[in-house]
Chains A and B, each alone.
Chain A
Amino acid sequence: DAKTTQPNSMESNEEEPVHLPCNHSTISGTDYIHWYRQLPSQGPEYVIHGLTSNVNNRMASLAIAEDRKSSTLILHRATLRDAAVYYCILRDPGYSTLTFGKGTMLLVSP
């Protein structure tokens, strides 16, 4: 099964950029890389996803390595509201869904 590896936690200061890394060395050629986040006491919410090229949306940017074995979620200016658990996710080949690991807890300080 394709799996992801993320740091357990990261810290940032408000209004600074944040780079959240993810390793997925066994990713298949057709797997999209998804990022979701979970704010405290809420359900997960979609952040961004991509296949090969770097992607941007209003929430974040996703930088994908050329060999697709790693990716980085970039929050350009962290706010206190960005404190959450960030999940880097691939498809679960056993079930028709995504596999959520433990993710990275992002702490943002004022």
Chain B
Amino acid sequence: NAGVTQTPKFRVLKTGQSMTLLCAQDMNHEYMYWYRQDPGMGLRLIHYSVGEGTTAKGEVPDGYNVSRLKKQNFLLGLESAAPSQTSVYFCASSYARPWVETQYFGPGTRLLVL
């Protein structure tokens, strides 16, 4: 049982390049989330999904897109990376509503945009 895994662990991009971050969970969870964390800050919600085939915007969605084609995977895309998107990205999942159920986090992806 791997829990929540994220790929890649670290990436350096040039401004304007695109990339996709992959989050996978093997716990059959319905809810999945993408957060970003900047130095000295808490986590901010980018996008989330409450089930396969559904996505919704969070607090800071601009510049990102997501897809949840399979229940176990949640992809975060950057179409044209900007230095402001330099951050640590965390994926999380929960079986049901996270304000009642436990939320499980991945180890993070560190992204540097030059």
Residues of B within 8 A of A103 (CB): 42
Interface range on chain A: under 10, 10 to 19, 20 to 34, or 35 or more? 20 to 34
A31-B99 contact given A95-B59, A97-B33, CB 8 Å threshold: yes
Residues of B within 8 A of A43 (CB): 4, 90, 92, 105-108
A42-B102 contact given A102-B41, A102-B42, A103-B42, CB 8 Å threshold: no
What's the minimum C-beta distance from B43 to chain A, rounded to whole angstroms?
Answer: 4
Q: Are B90 and A96 in contact (CB under 8 A)?
A: no
What's the minimum C-beta distance from A90 to chain B, rounded to whole angstroms?
Answer: 8
A68 near B: Cβ within 8 Å?
Answer: no
What's the minimum C-beta distance from B84 to chain A, rounded to whole angstroms?
Answer: 20
Q: Are A96 and B107 in contact (CB under 8 A)?
A: no
Secondary structure class of chain B's binding surface, majority of residues: loop
Beta-carbon nearest neighbor of A31 in chain B: B99
Complex-state Cα separation, A41 to B102, whole angstroms: 21
Interface range on chain B: under 10, 10 to 19, 20 to 34, or 35 or more? 20 to 34
Complex-state Cα separation, A41 to B50, whole angstroms: 27
What's the minimum C-beta distance from A62 to chain B, rounded to whole angstroms?
Answer: 14
B45 near A: Cβ within 8 Å?
Answer: yes
Complex-state Cα separation, A91 to B101, whole angstroms: 11
Residues of A within 8 A of B33 (CB): 97
Contact with A along B41-52 (1 / 0, CB 8 A): 111010010100
Candidate in B43, B58, B90 with the most chain A CB atoms within 10 angstroms: B43
Contact partner of B42 (CB less than 8 A), chosen from A32, A41, A91, A100, is A100
Residues of A within 8 A of B (CB): 31-32, 34, 36, 41-46, 49, 87, 90-92, 94-98, 100-103
**Can you list 18 A-B pairs, Cβ within 8 angstroms, ordered by A?**
A31-B99, A32-B99, A43-B4, A43-B90, A43-B92, A43-B105, A46-B104, A95-B45, A95-B59, A96-B50, A96-B56, A96-B97, A97-B58, A98-B98, A100-B35, A100-B42, A100-B43, A103-B42
